[in-house]
Every structure is written in structure tokens, then in C-alpha cells.
Amino acid sequence: MADSRPTTILFADDHPLVLNALKGLVGADETLRPIHFVCDGLAAISALEKDAPDVAVVDMRMPGLSGLKFLEEVRSRNLPVRVILFTAEMNDEEICDAVSLGVDSILFKRSAPENLLDCIHKVAVGNRCFPDESIAAAVDRQRQQRERMDQLLPRLSPRETAIATMAAKRMSNKEIAKALDITEGTVKVHLHNIFLKLGLSDRSALRTLLSPVVEPSPPLSDG
């Protein structure tokens, strides 16, 4: 016999008006039961530990713990909750970080009236839900970046690859020199050669090239 109990939901957003709006959107659906409305990420984690809701709808930008950090904490601790990141905006890197962490859904606030209930129902039964086409587009851009990186990085020596990676992590020349037991002057020479080989102008371009990329699995779908 199928489980007929309502799907329990945690809502986390630091704007009370948004929480009220979310409450109104799910209020008429008898198959959904909100059990927590909290205003920061740390309170959201506490609520998960206390009552283990089925689904968490979590704002990306919250005090205490951001939505992405919340997702990371949930996954690292294997907490049994489906996570919908609820956001006004996300950049490509944030989207791909969320996908790589196994987010169940990313829902933009502008589309909540049309898509919130559908997303909750889909993720509650184990599907993923990405109703906005920009999510798939962002992942595709990162895939193209990975292909470009795979083409360019073989041009570097192992030492140059190590230095490029450290520089992309915002380490200073002094920090790189200390880590590799070489002089700062040697680091500068290597960076100059790295920029020439990769056709880059500066560290910012290097960070862009080496920024985190993902290959989502399973493929994105609206479930």
C-alpha cells in the first residue's frame, strides 16, 4: 500500500514576507504539511535534526549558513532530506556547485507561484526538478569550459600546472613559493610562461579557466 501521509516540509528564508507567501502557496494542498518556518541556515539544520522533514525549501542567501553551505552540510552528514534551493539569482559557479552536491531542485523565486508545488511533489518521490532553462544552460557553459581546460592544460609542465592551480586558488606568489620551496622570482617566471602558453592575460583569466566544473549525474531533467 502506498504511503498516504503528507509530505513534511521545512521552509527557510530570512524574509518573513517570503515565508508567509510560501505558507500560502502550500496551504491548500492537503498532501503537504509544513512543519518548520525558520529564518536562518543554522536554525534550518537544527530543525532537520529535530524533526527530519521530507523536503527542505531553503533560500540561497541567509545569515548563519547559506543555502549552498546548508546543502553541503546535509550531504556530508547524509541527512535524509530532499533539498530545493530557493533563490532570486545564482551564478554559473553556484549552480554547478549545487548540482555537483546533488541538489534535488533549484527554483527561482520569480517562478514559485507556478512551479513550487510541482517541484515539491517531484523531489518528494525522488525526482529532480529544474524548471528554469537557465539551469541547464549554466551547466552546459561549465561543460564547455571543462573541454577548453582539457585542451589547454596539457601544454603545461607538471610544475606549471601546480603553480597555475595554486594561483587560481588566490594564493600569492609568496605563498606559492613557500609551498613549493622555490623563490618568488621563480614563481613569477613560471606564471609568465603559463600565461603565454594558455593565451591568458592575468590571474583573473586563469581563475576563470580553472574554476570548478561539474558533469552532473544523472543528467538534468525536470523529472
Domain boundaries, the chain: 7-138, 156-210
Of the candidates 128, 141, 145, 157, which has an alpha carbon nearest to the alpha carbon of residue 219?
A: 128
CA distances from 110 to 5, 13, 40, 60, 104 (A): 30, 15, 21, 14, 19
Residue pair 46/89 in contact (Cβ under 8 Å)? The answer is no
pLDDT digits (tens, 9 = 90+) for 16-47: 999 999 999 998 899 999 999 999 999 999 99
Between 183 and 144, whose confidence is greater? Answer: 183
Q: How far is the C-alpha of 13 from the C-alpha of 84, rounded, in Å?
A: 12
Q: How far is the C-alpha of 49 from the C-alpha of 53, rounded, in Å?
A: 9
Q: Residue 45: its pLDDT value, please? A: 93
Choose the most confident range, by mean pLDDT, from 61-65, 89-93, 149-153, 174-178. Answer: 174-178
- pTM, 2 dp: 0.67
pLDDT digits (tens, 9 = 90+) for 1-10: 346 789 999 9
156-210 carries CATH number 3.40.50.970: no
Site of grid cell 526538478 = 129
| Correct CATH for 7-138 of 1.10.3210.10, 2.30.40.10, 3.40.50.2300, 3.30.930.10 | 3.40.50.2300
> Worst-scoring range by mean pLDDT, 108-122, 139-153, 180-194?
139-153
